[in-house]
Amino acid sequence: MFNSLSGRLLILTTIFVMLAEILIFVPSIARFREDYMLNRLERAQIASLTLLAEEMIDAELEAELLRNAEVLNVVLRRDEVRQLVLSSPMPQQIAGTFDLRDDSPLILIGDALRRLVSPKNEVIRVIGAPVRDAGLLIEVTMETAPLRAAMIDYGLRILLLSAAICMITAVLLFMALRVFLVNPIERVVSHMQRYAAAPEDARRIIVPSAGVRELRDAEEALMKLQTDLTQALRQKERLAQLGAAVSKVSHDLRNIMTTAQLFTDRIEMSEDPAVARLAPKLVNSISRAVHLCESTLAFGKAEEPGPRLTVMRLADLVVEVLESERLGVGQHPVTLRAQVPQDMEIRADPEQMHRVLSNLVRNASQAIIASGTAGDVCVRASETPAAWSIFVADTGPGLPSKAREHLFAPFQGSVRKGGSGLGLAISAELLRGHGGDIQLVETGPEGTEFRIQLPKGDDTL
């Protein structure tokens, strides 16, 4: 119970109410002490007036008056004459004098607390002003034991009353907080748990109903979050189904295109001039279709296999990639060149790095071909003590703004008509498996440059 919000509120309420009662108790006990001594002064004054009226009384009556007044001696000053009106033997010397006529509240509180904690019985002198102007000053001596006993009795009654008030206040506040705060919070938590069990079920989305403004704002924010999440999950499910369908279609289409590619090999051997002229275009179209199907299937897999890291010469890999791309470029005015140190070695998966570089070089050369002008594609590399950097730069027309916004998003980052937008997405995924990344350095009318960065540290691979 005490670990719950309700239990802690109950404990805190009890503590705070008790603190408030203690702050009230201290001045109250000081006031009680002052009233107690003033009462003794009034009793002593009445006894003194009785003596003055009778002028002479016997010893027994004097002792009875002092007992009723609960004092030892009474001194009354009238007309500038200080007169010992009533007296009895002093059990001990006077330990202190307290003048109630001009003491400040702080002095009265301090005197009261000291008397409360001091168990010793002492004789004190108390000075005050007579009531109803019956003289200039009245002074009595009294013992402190009865005063302390009365203060303790009063304090216990105050404490018991404070405890009762504290418990009643705490219970009422606890019940109010339970109704207006804790129960609505538990309702929100229950809705969250119920929604988490089946987030696709829109019926489990919370409906705001709290009367407290802050809780209602929280419920409305939670409702919006749950609504957005449910829609995102539905969209994800539809995309997964669409991806499965696309993968099946791409698989069958790849088989068909592979068969067609075999037939085109024979068509290229035809001596018919028209067939010989159209055959290369047909071969290129079928090759692009096969590549699209293979890319879609590769991206549709649950995950790419982890890289098998080996130490390899980067220059050999770049030369292989450029030679393969030259076959696709054909007679187009595109220059492919490398500026890679012959002795530079990197640690990477050769097959996956070949795919990454092929995607970048192919995208660069196709961008230049689509522009209809001559251009240059350059692959260069450098290294630092921490990483290897590979740059693929071209002098093409640059990337459009729409492509830059979704550059590494699948099916969205294509910059040419008919492109799948998978090349850069797959490349980024492969590089993340190496602990590296790919970034667009710059793009514009003068060309585009990408940077591949691979870390050297073993802990990042």
Q: Per-residue pLDDT tens, the chain, 461 aa: give them.
A: 556 666 777 777 778 777 877 777 788 888 888 888 888 877 777 777 665 555 556 667 667 767 777 777 777 776 666 666 667 788 888 888 888 887 788 888 888 888 888 888 888 888 888 776 656 788 888 888 888 898 899 888 888 887 788 788 878 877 887 787 778 888 888 888 888 888 877 778 888 887 778 888 888 888 888 888 888 877 777 667 666 666 666 656 666 666 666 666 666 666 677 666 666 666 666 666 666 666 666 655 545 566 888 999 999 999 988 988 887 777 888 999 999 999 999 999 988 899 899 889 988 998 898 888 889 999 999 999 999 999 999 998 888 877 777 787 665 545 554 444 567 888 888 888 888 999 999 998 889 999 999 998 754 33
How is residue 401 written in tokens? 């703004």
| Angle (nearest 5°) at CA 107 between 101 and 113 | 120
Domain termination residue (choose one: 295, 320, 337)? 295
CA distance 291 to 199: 38
Q: Are 289 and 350 contained in the same domain?
A: no
Q: Are 262 and 358 contained in the same domain?
A: no
Q: Are 13 and 160 contained in the same domain?
A: yes
- Single-letter residue type at 43: R
Instruction: Report pLDDT digits (tens) over 251-262.
Output: 566 666 666 666
pTM: 0.43
DSSP code, position 306 = P
Is residue 324 domain-resident? yes
Q: Are 346 and 273 contained in the same domain?
A: no
Give the list of residues 6+ apart from residue 135 with CB closer than 8 angstroms, or none.
45, 76, 77, 78
Is residue 418 domain-resident? yes
Is residue 178 domain-resident? no
Taken as a whole, the chain contains a residue count of 461
Q: Are 403 and 429 contained in the same domain?
A: yes
CATH number at residue 330: 3.30.565.10
How is residue 111 written in tokens? 């005197």
Is residue 187 domain-resident? no
- Which domain range does residue 279 map to? 213-295
DSSP code, position 349 = -
Assign 154 to helix, strand or coil: helix
* Structural domain count, the chain: 3
